[in-house]
């Protein structure tokens, strides 16, 4: 990362919304198994392997550089004082050296803010676990990366064989000039390029690449922002036909009487899970069979995402029923949707979202999943037209906005407004596709990769799922003041899965006939 790269508005928003009670980093708790009779030093081997591959992911050596007075979004610049020993640490796991102990430590560590003076990631290696296992807790700021890019980063860093591959470093490239003469020449070229092409709505939305100074003084920031605004205006103008069609589609859906029930189902009831959170976290993970979950999805006529929503719904329903706190109205889930094109591994956020009813008011597991399938289909239909707006909204830039948004975020956090405002959603549920092949790191086999995501004020519980090999690894994280021991909820998931499987199992008569 030779040159400074300014954060997009979406990436930067994760920095602005961060408070001591609400860190905005994501991570994972990976479990490895060392080979039998292993005699090496896994921590040192792992650290050396990552150090040799840092060029694969330049974001790992980039730190934030703030704009003067926070007048504009910060930039990623290469950290000239980068020290890998400040990012990869040897963790200490007390007795009984098991996964449950590791989960409690991960929950505690995930509540701690990353140091913004350094690149925004950390790895902690926990050796000496039972059954020759190694724990790896990793966290990276959401401003760097989303789940889709995170899975790609996992594929880049880890190996598909026990023997680590040798990754050649690229040849150094000459830096481009940012002198006033070069900027002026590039500006003239860009201007000519703009008027060379017809400006009409029938063509692909027009793009324009104007030069940047790449410097961090106030004058350069004002110049670069002006260039950005011109680019945005051209891109916006080229996107007007698609955006007008989206507006028309949204208005049509809202005015359709058949859509009113769908809109009403997205209104979230208040629950004990939708309160302000503390600066403590509770974390737990569990796994189920991916092929069995897909079989349930096929039998129900839905998708794997629907099964994940149904399992999350069943767990939350059981938990709240035991506490006499289940609302009569169906609860909702905020479901992130990736906008990332296949093959795109850029380290940034390309994500959208929808609100979906999760039918917690339905007792029967089969009827609940069928209702979720119907509701998720309607939610996708309602949210799909808005996708055209996201490329415009995700990179809006307004001078002075960073400091204003940070003040408002801190005010919201300190005022406990989430205790009185209606929740936008009741829980967050996310499903991240992962690799099907076995992965290795420094010779150790990766057994599980449990996601460790973000809890927010008003939505204390986050359930994120990572597929790996033939398993779904569920990571439950919650504000510890709301759910002190999220392990209780996590333990309900295998039981809920068995109930869902039984609900869609073929009748005994059909099974005998097949035999």
Name, in order, each residue with C-beta under 8 angstroms of 234's C-beta and a sequence gap of 6 or more.
194, 206, 207, 208
The backbone region for 443, taken as left when phi is positive above 0, alpha when psi lies in -120 to 50, beta otherwise, is left
For strand 461-468 and strand 427-432, is the pairing parallel, antiparallel, or unpaired? parallel
- The DSSP call for residue 156 is H
**Residue 72 contacts residue 6 (beta carbons within 8 Å):** yes
Instruction: Indicate which residue of 25, 110, 142, 457 is catalytic.
Output: 142
Strand partners, 29: 137, 450
Name, in order, each residue with C-beta under 8 angstroms of 262's C-beta and a sequence gap of 6 or more.
375, 378, 379, 381, 382
Burial label, 110 (beta-carbon count in 10 A; 0-12, 13-18, 19+)? buried
> 430, 349, 345, 285: which is closest to 151 by C-alpha?
345
| Helix (H), strand (E) at residue 116 | none
**Residue 416 contacts residue 276 (beta carbons within 8 Å):** yes
Instruction: Give catalytic status of residue 73 as yes or no.
Output: no
3-state secondary structure 312-349: HHHHHHHHHHHCCCCCCCCCEEEEEEECCCCCCCCCCC
Just list the catalytic residues. Answer: 142
């Amino acid at each position: 990362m030779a040159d400074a790269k300014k954060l997009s508005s979406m990436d930067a928003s994760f920095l602005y919304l961060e408070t001591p009670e609400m860190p905005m980093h994501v991570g994972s708790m990976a479990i490895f198994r060392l080979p039998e009779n292993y005699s090496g030093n896994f921590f040192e081997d792992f650290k050396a392997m990552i150090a040799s591959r840092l060029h694969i992911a330049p974001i790992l050596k980039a730190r934030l550089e703030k704009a003067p007075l926070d007048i504009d979004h910060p930039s990623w610049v290469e950290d000239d004082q980068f020290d890998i020993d400040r990012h990869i640490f040897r963790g200490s796991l007390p007795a009984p050296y098991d996964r449950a102990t590791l989960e409690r430590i991960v929950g505690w560590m995930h509540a701690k803010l990353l140091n913004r003076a350094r690149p925004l990631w950390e790895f902690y290696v926990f050796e000496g676990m039972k059954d020759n296992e190694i724990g790896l807790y990793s966290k990276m700021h959401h401003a760097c990366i989303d789940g889709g890019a995170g899975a790609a980063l996992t594929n880049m860093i880890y190996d598909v064989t026990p023997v680590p591959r040798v990754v050649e470093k690229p040849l150094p490239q000459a830096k481009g000039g940012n002198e006033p003469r070069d900027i002026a020449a590039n500006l003239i070229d860009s201007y000519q390029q703009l008027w060379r092409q017809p400006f009409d709505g029938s063509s692909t939305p027009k793009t324009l690449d104007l030069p940047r100074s790449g410097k961090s003084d106030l004058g350069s920031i004002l110049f670069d922002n002006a260039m950005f605004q011109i680019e945005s205006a051209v891109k916006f103008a080229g996107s007007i036909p698609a955006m007008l069609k989206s507006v028309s589609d949204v208005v049509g859906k809202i005015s359709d009487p058949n859509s009113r029930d769908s809109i009403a189902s997205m209104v979230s009831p208040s629950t004990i899970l939708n309160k302000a959170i503390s600066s403590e976290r509770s974390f737990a993970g569990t796994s189920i069979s991916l092929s069995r979950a897909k079989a349930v999805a096929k039998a129900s006529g839905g998708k794997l995402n629907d099964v994940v929503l149904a399992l999350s719904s069943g767990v939350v329903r059981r938990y709240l029923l035991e506490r006499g706190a289940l609302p009569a109205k169906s609860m909702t889930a905020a479901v992130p949707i990736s906008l990332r094109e296949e093959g795109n591994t850029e380290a940034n956020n390309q994500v959208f979202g929808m609100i979906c009813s999760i039918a917690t008011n339905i007792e029967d597991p089969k009827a609940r999943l069928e209702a979720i399938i119907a509701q998720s289909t309607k939610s996708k239909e309602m949210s799909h037209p808005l996708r055209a707006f996201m490329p415009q909204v995700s990179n809006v830039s307004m001078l002075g906005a960073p400091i204003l948004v940070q003040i408002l975020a801190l005010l919201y956090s300190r005022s406990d407004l989430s205790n009185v405002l209606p929740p936008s959603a009741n829980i967050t549920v996310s499903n991240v596709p992962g690799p099907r092949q076995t992965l290795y790191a420094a010779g150790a086999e990766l057994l599980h990769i449990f996601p460790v995501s973000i809890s927010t004020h008003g939505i204390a519980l986050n359930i994120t799922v990572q597929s790996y090999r033939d398993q779904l690894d569920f990571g439950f994280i919650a504000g510890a003041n709301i759910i002190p021991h999220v392990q209780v909820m996590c333990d309900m998931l295998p039981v809920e899965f068995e109930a869902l499987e039984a609900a869609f199992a073929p009748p005994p008569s059909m099974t005998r006939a097949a035999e």
